[in-house]
Structure 1
Amino acid sequence: MTGAGLTGQGPDALGLFIFFARLSLLAVGGANAAVPEMHRRMVDGFGWMTDADFANAYALANAAPGPNVLVVALLGWRLYGGPGLVSATLGMLGPAWIVAWIAGGWTQRLAGRAWLKAARAGLVPVAIGLTLATGLIMSGAAAIGWTSYAVTIGAALFVWLSRFSPGWALLGGGLVGILLL
C-alpha cells in the first residue's frame, strides 16, 4: 500500500507525530473523541486523503479487536507507511499519557475537593458530545446518504434512553446496512 506521504502529498513522519501529538490533547474520552478533528484536518483541511479512505481506515480499525486508537495507526500507515504508523501512534499516545500521569497524581492528592468533582462531571458531557460528533462525521464520510445519519442518531437515542445493551443498536445498524447494500 502506498501512502500519500510516500508520494509527496502528505506530511513526513515528524509532521505526523506533531499533528497527532496536538490532537491527543483534545481526545477527552479516548481517541475516537478526536476523530472529527482528524477528519476535518486530514480530509477537508490538508487534503491528505479522501472521505472514503478515511472512512475505510476508521471502519477497519473498529472492526479489529483492540483499542480504538488503532485508527491512528492505520491513518499513519495510509499516509506514510511504517514510519507513519509509528510516528502517528507515538504522537497520539505520548502526550496524552504524560498528561494522564500528571493529572492522576493531582487527582489522588486532591480527592474529595468539590471543584475536582465538578470538573470531572463537566468532562462527561464533553466526552459524550465528542463521541456523538464522531458518529455524525463518520456517517457523512460513509457517503450512504441520510440513512447513515438516521441510524447514528437512532442508535445514540436508543443507548441513552433504554436499559438494553448497546449491542442491540449495533445489530440494528448492521441490519440497516445490509438492507441498503
Structure 2
Amino acid sequence: MERGVLGQIILLFGTLSLIAIGGANVLVPDFHRQAVGVMGWMNDATFARLFAIVQTAPGPNVMLASIIGWHVAGWPGLVAATVAILLPSSLIAFACSRGLARFSDRSAVKVMTVALVPIALGLMLASGLVATLAAAAGLLGFAITAATMLVTLRTSLNPLVSMLAGTLVYLTAWLLGFV
C-alpha cells in the first residue's frame, strides 16, 4: 500500500470535514467531484453504487467517506477516511456547542444559527442532485427519484417502502429490456 494514497485520503476527508455544515450529506457533491473527477479513484457508476450502499445501510451518512476509503485503499483506507472525516468536525462541534451554551442569548449567535439553516438545506439538495446524476439511470431513474421524493414528502409511509417500490420498478424495466 502506497503511503501517498493514505495521505491523500486523510487530507481530502480531513479538509472536507471542516466544511460539513449540515452533516455528511452536504459533502456528497465534493466527495463525487474529488473521488471521480480530481483523484480518479472511481467512475460515476462506482460512486453511485457506493452511495446507494451507504444510503440503504443503517447508520450515519458519513459512512460514504469510509466506503470510498475502503474502495481506494482497503482497510487502511477505511480507517484513515473514517478518522479524517470524523475527528476535525467533531472537535469543531464540541467547541461550538460550548460556545453556543455560553453565548446563546446574544443576537449575533441567534442570527447565525438561523442563517445556517437555508445554507445546509441547499447543500443537501445539491447532494441529492449530484447522486441522481451520478447514477446515470436515465429518464426512468429521474422519474423514480422524483416519485420517491414526493411519496416521502407527502405521506407518512416509511421511505424503505418507496425504495423497495422504486427498485422493483427499475428491475422490472431492466428485465423487460426497457433500460
Mark yes or no: TM-score above 0.5.
yes
Which structure 2 segments of 5+ residues have no match? Answer: 175-179
**Corresponding residue number in structure 1 for 2:136:** 143
Number of residue pairs matched by the alignment: 173
Q: Is the 8 A contact 2:140 2:170 kept in 1?
A: no
Report whether the alignment pairs 1:47 with 2:43: no
Q: Is the 8 A contact 1:135 1:152 kept in 2?
A: no
RMSD: 2.3
Query: Secondary structure of the residue that 2:52 maps to in structure 1?
Result: helix
Which structure 1 segments of 5+ residues have no match? Answer: 1-5
Report whether the alignment pairs 1:23 with 2:19: no
Cα drift, residue 110 of structure 1: 0.8
Q: TM-score, normalised by structure 2?
A: 0.84
* Residue 149 to residue 120, structure 1, CA distance change in 2 (3 Å): farther
2:126 to 130, 133, 144: 133
* Residue 144 to residue 99, structure 1, CA distance change in 2 (3 Å): same
1:164 to 144, 156, 159: 156
Aligned residue runs from structure 1 range 1-181, under 5 A: 12-156=5-149, 159-160=152-153, 162=154, 164-165=156-157, 167=159, 169-170=162-163, 173-181=166-174
Q: Is the 8 A contact 2:13 2:84 kept in 1?
A: yes
Query: Secondary structure of the residue that 2:156 maps to in structure 1?
Result: coil
* Residue 132 to residue 86, structure 1, CA distance change in 2 (3 Å): same
Q: Identity percentage over the alignment?
A: 37
Instruction: Point out the more displaced range, 106-115 or 165-174.
Output: 165-174
Q: Deviations over 1:41-67 (max 9, x none)?
A: 111222111111111111112222111
* Residue 172 to residue 118, structure 1, CA distance change in 2 (3 Å): farther
Q: TM-score, normalised by structure 1?
A: 0.83
Cα drift, residue 169 of structure 1: 5.0
